[in-house]
């Protein structure tokens, strides 16, 4: 099971990195989302894996899974939604403004203009 | 008054001028004056203790492990400087009230002034060198704002930048020096450091520390070769010059040398560096000052020269020198502040500061004339004025100082400096006020109102009184000198006298004054010679250095930062993977301590689905809609994984977030191209694939070794499990952690979420108000639209489901404390219910029925959560302490009421607001001009009488 989770994290990371290295905004955003999954699962798994022990206190149950990473990851999931939304909005704004959804600055557009001031 | 309050008052008060700005200039100046006066009076309440020789302290441990404690102390030296800073500050504020023109923003000016004043007071009262460094940097920053206050003047901006660069660099050097000093002693508390003279001076790090600290002091106090920034800072308004360059900013370096005197002075290195720099600065400043035509430039160089004098005295390392230095600080502050203010008056009245265009003002401006004569003669060292006394002491000290084995070097140079000093003072009086009255002044000069002349006139009281009756201040000066000296030696002088008999210093004084008069008669030919002589222009050199630094930075930055973001990401990923590999190879990786848990067929099936979806995403991401579906599968499998591994809360959150994320991405995809074209070469894709696989392998290896081993140290989770019910009153430990144990984190997180949503809203607004707006409105959709945009079935279904979903949300919210659920999840569920209405009936229909703006919902959420936290203050508990009780309202079961539920309500509202505001912003972009907003919930409605179908057809196409 540990092997499955670890390899899932690895595969999500690999796919996430590959997509973040693409040249258009949309795949980059998808790549960041995949990386987010990988990081969240990794953080969650730092409490170690346990089946059938949700951290809901019950009489007579002594073993629970680790609640702390779960709480941290819960907020991380919500925040990553906010961050995804911001990145999408920035990408969308750039595309609508310039009709170009490339991630890289156009060639030759090095910062000469701003230095002239 | 507590020392904390004295330091805090100017900072707190800095908020007021800006607020009072609309109440008028009088209120603005008045409130600044009051704040300063309060701090001044507060300082005076400590006077009896200080004068009795005590050291008043105030201590708060801030980060004791780092040695960073907010400790303040007030001894004679600190009291003396604080008195100057606040006392002269009061006069400056009164003067600035009359000086600033109507179009100057007074609120801004006084805010900067108070910030600066607070930083200065902080420096002189600090008992911890780390705190001192913070205040030191604050003075650099706030003086930058003050010097550049007239933003429209290029000289002002350049001067401010130069001052910031020079003093900022010095500040950096000083941080290094102070840290070394702290390391040597093992404490960052000044009072401890000052006790360790031998330890410090015997340390091999003494010399580097000394040089670094002196760099800080010399840059701040404009000592050679860093003297050039001060004259350029004269582009500031005159009150700023008068304040910064008489009593405060430039004296900060002097203060620090005096403060560190007990531990740093007395070594040959200190003597050569400090006395040498001081001597050169004194002579150079005086010579340049004589030939300056701008009144303020003349005064600026004279300030440089006098600072050199004080530095030289501190450098000699004798107790007499230290005492004389402190006495001269007092005298210089008095006459120089008055002179700057008078120069401002002349400028204000004649509209010029050029000495060549002035002269003969004594009849036109008798009051100003009197002030300038007294102050300038004092500066020249004429008996019965205070400057004479300390200058005599300096000359006296010079006769005993042997530099570079020559007993004559220092006395001769000191005399030359004094001679030129006397000369420029005579020139200041003679060429500005004496001589025949002219008829070509740029304006018609006369004495200004008392608002301008009274502050400098008040300063003439100490100038004359100290000059005539030095015994009045002698005890105070000795007290200050003793606290400079510390316990190193005894102060030998017993009296400050005007007449010492026929000693060498008197002859030197006479030579200086007579020589000064002779120089004045020879001024014209001398000036010609001076202007013909080649002189290095410090500003040109400085600008050349800056330009070279910029070129260097550009040479490094431009090739590496050329806007190829994917390359940056590739390099970063590769580097992190390599670093991880290095750590893994060189670190110790112990054998696994946990048993691998067996995986059944269902788990493997889930894993396969996740892997298949991820792989599909990599290979089919160019079809963007398909990619969205695939990433939905990935998210779903992650949620299922959370359920399986005992994290129901996470699963619910991930699942609901997945829904809103997909909706959001669909909304965005509406505007973006639907396909990603193939642009990168095969090689590039292979390279990215290698990087991706390397990163994936690194993540896999780390996760695997991590999962197979137990915790190195016991986890704090046990505490949460044990106390969740007892302390937080809830059995869902995850929720109790969120709303109770780590409520502060959650509070921060909902604020971040709210900010993100507001950012999206702001970006949308920018787009809709810019050139993009027209394009959006006239856009032709690139995909065929459904003929029935708002189908009846969907509308009816979402309406029916709305109350049910809200009920579910309500239930999830309330059970959250004890069962999986809570504010985050409930918020997401309710958002989905609302989003469904938007999807079914369109943006405009839904928006028209929206009663509360989503910004308000976010704000209410944050506010409720914050107030819930503040509520615990009223019970004497720290922020966000929770309490709970059990109530029973028939016919319901007994249920629990916790204050944490109020906090969770805040979380709920913030999440709803943030999610809805983001989605709503995206939908707003989709409105088009030629498509009329429908006022009906659905296009085809059999119960409606009018002819809706035609509209629908028109609207849909």
pLDDT below 70 — which residues of chain B?
494, 892-895, 928-933, 945-957
What are the backbone angles phi and psi of residue B479, rounded to the nearest 5°? -60, -45
Q: Which residue of A10, A50, A103 is in closest CB contact with B703?
A: A10
Task: Measure A10 CA to nearest chain B CA, in Å.
Answer: 4
Residue B599 near residue A1, CB atoms below 8 Å: yes
CATH assignment of the domain containing A49: 1.10.287
Interchain pair A54, B721: CB under 8 A: no
Nearest CA among B160, B91, B92, B86 for reference residue B124: B86
Q: Is the pLDDT of residue A9 over 90?
A: yes
What's the domain count of chain A? 1
Question: Is the residue at A14 inside a domain?
Answer: yes
**What pLDDT is attached to residue B758?**
93
Separation CA B565–CA A101 (nearest Å):
13
* Domain range annotation of chain B: 268-521, 599-678, 729-957
With respect to residue A111, please indicate whether it lies within any of the assigned structural domains: no
d(CA B65, CA B69): 9
Q: Are B274 and B260 in contact (CB under 8 A)?
A: no
Is residue A75 in a domain?
Answer: yes
* B59 Cβ under 8 Å from any chain A Cβ: no
Beta pairing class for B56-63 and B68-74: antiparallel
In DSSP terms, B59 is beta-bridged to: B71
CA distance B586 to chain A (A): 22
> Nearest CA of chain B to the CA of A81: how many Å?
7
B594 touches chain A (CB under 8 A): yes
- pLDDT at position B946 is 59
- What does the pLDDT look like over B887-923, one tens digit per residue? 777 776 666 777 888 888 999 999 999 999 998 888 8
Closest chain A residue to B690, measured at CA: A18
- pLDDT given for residue B386 in this prediction: 84
pLDDT digits (tens, 9 = 90+) for A91-115: 888 888 888 888 887 766 544 444 4
Alpha-helical regions (H) of B21-105 = 25-45, 47-51, 76-99
**Neighboring chain B residues of A71 at a CB cutoff of 8 Å:** 734-735, 737-738, 742
User: What pLDDT score does A112 carry?
Assistant: 46
B850 touches chain A (CB under 8 A): no
Nearest to B698, CA basis, from B590, B580, B797: B580
Alpha-carbon distance B742 to nearest alpha carbon in chain A (angstroms): 9
Distance CA B154, CA B572 (A): 41
CB A10 to CB B699 under 8 A?
yes
Residue A8 and residue B715: Cβ atoms within 8 Å?
no
Do A30 and B672 make contact, defined as CB atoms within 8 angstroms?
Answer: no
Q: Is B15 in contact with B130 (CB distance < 8 Å)?
A: no
Least CB–CB distance from B563: residue in A8, A57, A105:
A105
Task: Tell me if A116 is assigned to some domain.
Answer: no
pLDDT value for B487: 73
Residue A110 within any structural domain of the chain: no
| Cβ contact, residue pair A23, B679, below 8 Å | yes
Residues in chain B closer than 8 A to A19 (CB atoms): 617-618, 621
Whether the Cβ atoms of residue B893 and residue B805 lie closer than 8 Å to each other: no
Nearest by CB to B756, from A74, A85, A110: name it. A85
Q: Which residue has the tokens 């990923």?
A: B573
Burial of B168 (0-12, 13-18, 19+ CB in 10 A): middle
What ranges in B52-153 are assigned the alpha helix state H?
76-99, 106-125, 129-147
Does A9 reside within a domain?
yes
What was the pLDDT predicted at B804?
Answer: 94
User: A81: domain range?
Assistant: 2-54+64-105
Domain contains A112: no
Residues making up chain A, counted from first to last? 117
Residues across chain B? 957
Could you say which of A22, A54, A77 has the minimum Cβ distance to residue B648? A54
Structure tokens at B43: 């300082």
d(CA B174, CA B908): 49
Chain B residues lying within 8 Å of A73, measured CB to CB = 647, 650
A89·B634 Cβ contact <8 A:
no
What is the Cα gyration radius of chain B?
37
């Amino acid at each position: 099971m540990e092997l499955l989770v670890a390899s899932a994290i690895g595969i999500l990371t690999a796919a996430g990195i590959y997509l973040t290295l693409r040249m258009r905004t949309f795949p980059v955003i998808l790549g960041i989302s995949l990386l987010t999954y990988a990081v969240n699962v990794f953080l969650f798994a730092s409490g170690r894996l346990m089946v059938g022990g949700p951290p809901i206190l019950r009489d007579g149950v002594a073993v629970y899974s680790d609640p702390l990473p779960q709480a941290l990851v819960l907020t991380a999931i919500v925040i990553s939604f906010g961050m995804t939304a911001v990145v999408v909005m920035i990408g969308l704004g750039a595309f609508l403004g310039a009709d170009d959804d490339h991630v890289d600055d156009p060639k030759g557009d090095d910062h000469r203009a701003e230095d002239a001031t | 008054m507590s020392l904390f309050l004295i330091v805090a008052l100017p900072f707190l008060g800095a908020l007021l001028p800006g607020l009072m700005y609309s109440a008028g200039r009088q209120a603005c100046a008045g409130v600044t004056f009051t704040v300063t006066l309060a701090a001044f009076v507060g300082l005076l309440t400590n006077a009896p203790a200080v004068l009795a020789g005590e050291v008043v302290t105030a201590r708060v441990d801030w980060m004791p492990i780092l040695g960073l404690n907010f400790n303040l102390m007030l001894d004679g030296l600190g009291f003396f400087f604080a008195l100057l800073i606040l006392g002269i500050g009061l006069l400056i504020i009164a003067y600035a009230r009359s000086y600033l023109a109507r179009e100057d923003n007074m609120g801004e000016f006084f805010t900067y002034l108070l910030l600066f004043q607070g930083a200065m007071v902080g420096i002189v009262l600090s008992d911890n060198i780390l705190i001192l460094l913070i205040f030191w940097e604050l003075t650099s920053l706030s003086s930058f704002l003050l010097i550049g206050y007239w933003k429209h003047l290029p000289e002002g901006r350049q001067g401010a930048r130069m001052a910031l660069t020079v003093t900022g660099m010095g500040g950096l050097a000083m941080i290094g020096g102070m840290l070394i000093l702290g390391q040597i002693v093992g404490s960052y508390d000044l009072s401890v450091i000052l006790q360790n003279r031998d330890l410090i001076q015997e340390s091999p790090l003494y010399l580097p520390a000394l040089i670094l600290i002196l760099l800080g002091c010399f840059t701040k106090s404009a000592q050679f070769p860093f003297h050039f920034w001060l004259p350029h800072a004269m582009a500031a308004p005159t009150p700023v010059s008068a304040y910064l360059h008489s009593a405060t900013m430039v004296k900060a370096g002097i203060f620090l040398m005096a403060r560190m005197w007990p531990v740093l002075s007395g070594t040959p290195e200190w003597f050569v560096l400090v006395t040498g720099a001081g001597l050169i600065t004194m002579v150079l400043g005086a010579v340049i000052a004589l030939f300056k035509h701008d009144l303020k430039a003349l005064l600026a160089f004279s300030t440089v020269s006098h600072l050199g004098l004080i530095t030289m005295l501190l450098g000699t390392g004798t107790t007499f020198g230290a005492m004389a230095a402190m006495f001269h600080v007092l005298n210089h502050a008095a006459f120089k502040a008055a002179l700057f203010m008078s120069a401002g008056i002349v400028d204000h009245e004649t509209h010029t500061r050029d000495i060549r265009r002035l002269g003969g003002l004594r009849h036109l401006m008798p009051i100003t004339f009197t002030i300038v004569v007294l102050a300038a003669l004092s500066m020249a060292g004429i008996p019965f004025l205070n400057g004479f006394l300390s200058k005599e002491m300096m000359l006296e000290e010079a006769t005993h100082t042997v530099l570079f084995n020559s007993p004559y070097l220092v006395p001769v140079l000191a005399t030359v400096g004094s001679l030129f000093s006397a000369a420029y003072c005579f020139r200041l009086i003679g060429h500005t006020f004496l001589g025949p009255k002219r008829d070509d002044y740029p304006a018609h000069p006369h004495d200004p109102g008392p608002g301008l002349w009274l502050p400098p006139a008040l300063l003439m009281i100490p100038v004359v009184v100290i000059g005539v009756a030095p015994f009045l201040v002698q005890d105070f000066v000795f007290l200050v000198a003793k606290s400079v000296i510390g316990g190193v030696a005894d102060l030998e002088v017993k009296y400050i006298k005007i007449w010492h008999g026929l000693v060498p210093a008197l002859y030197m004084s006479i030579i200086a004054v007579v020589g000064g008069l002779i120089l004045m008669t020879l001024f014209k030919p001398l000036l010609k010679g001076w202007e013909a002589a080649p002189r290095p222009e410090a500003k040109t050199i400085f600008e050349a250095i800056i330009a070279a630094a910029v070129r260097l930075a550009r040479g490094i930055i431009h090739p590496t930062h050329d806007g190829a973001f994917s390359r940056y990401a590739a390099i970063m990923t590769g580097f992190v993977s390599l670093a991880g590999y290095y750590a893994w190879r060189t670190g110790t990786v112990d054998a696994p301590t946990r048993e691998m848990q067996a995986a059944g067929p269902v788990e493997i099936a889930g894993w396969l689905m996740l892997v298949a979806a991820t792989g599909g995403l990599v290979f089919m991401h160019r079809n963007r809609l398909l990619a969205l579906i695939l990433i939905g599968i990935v998210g779903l499998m992650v949620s299922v994984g959370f359920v399986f591994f005992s994290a129901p809360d996470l699963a619910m959150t991930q699942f609901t977030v997945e829904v809103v994320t997909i909706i959001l991405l669909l909304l965005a995809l509406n505007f973006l191209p639907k396909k990603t074209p193939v642009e990168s070469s095969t090689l590039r894709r292979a390279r990215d694939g290698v990087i991706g696989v390397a990163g994936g392998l690194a993540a896999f290896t780390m996760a695997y070794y991590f999962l197979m081993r137990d915790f190195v140290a016991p986890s704090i989770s046990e505490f949460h499990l044990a106390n969740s019910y007892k302390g937080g009153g809830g059995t869902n430990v995850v929720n109790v952690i969120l709303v109770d144990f780590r409520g502060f984190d959650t509070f921060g997180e909902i604020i971040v979420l709210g900010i993100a949503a507001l950012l999206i809203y702001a970006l949308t607004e920018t787009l809709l108000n810019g050139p993009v707006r027209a394009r959006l409105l006239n856009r032709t959709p690139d995909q065929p639209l459904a003929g029935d945009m708002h189908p009846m079935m969907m509308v009816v279904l979402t309406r029916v489901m709305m109350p049910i979903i809200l009920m579910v949300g309500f239930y999830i919210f309330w059970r959250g404390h004890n069962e999986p659920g809570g504010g985050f999840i409930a918020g997401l569920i309710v958002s989905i219910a609302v989003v469904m209405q938007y999807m079914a009936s369109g943006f405009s229909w839904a928006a028209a029925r929206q009663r509360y703006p989503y910004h308000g919902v976010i704000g209410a959420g944050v506010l409720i959560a914050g107030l819930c936290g503040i509520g615990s203050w009223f019970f004497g508990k720290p922020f966000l302490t929770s309490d709970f009780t059990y109530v029973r309202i028939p016919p319901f079961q007994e249920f629990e009421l916790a204050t944490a539920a109020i906090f969770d309500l805040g979380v709920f509202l913030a999440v709803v607001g943030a999610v809805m505001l983001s989605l709503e912003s995206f939908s707003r972009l989709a409105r088009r001009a030629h498509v009329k907003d429908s006022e009906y919930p659905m296009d085809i409605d059999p119960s409606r009488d009018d002819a809706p179908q035609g509209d629908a057809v028109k609207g849909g196409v």
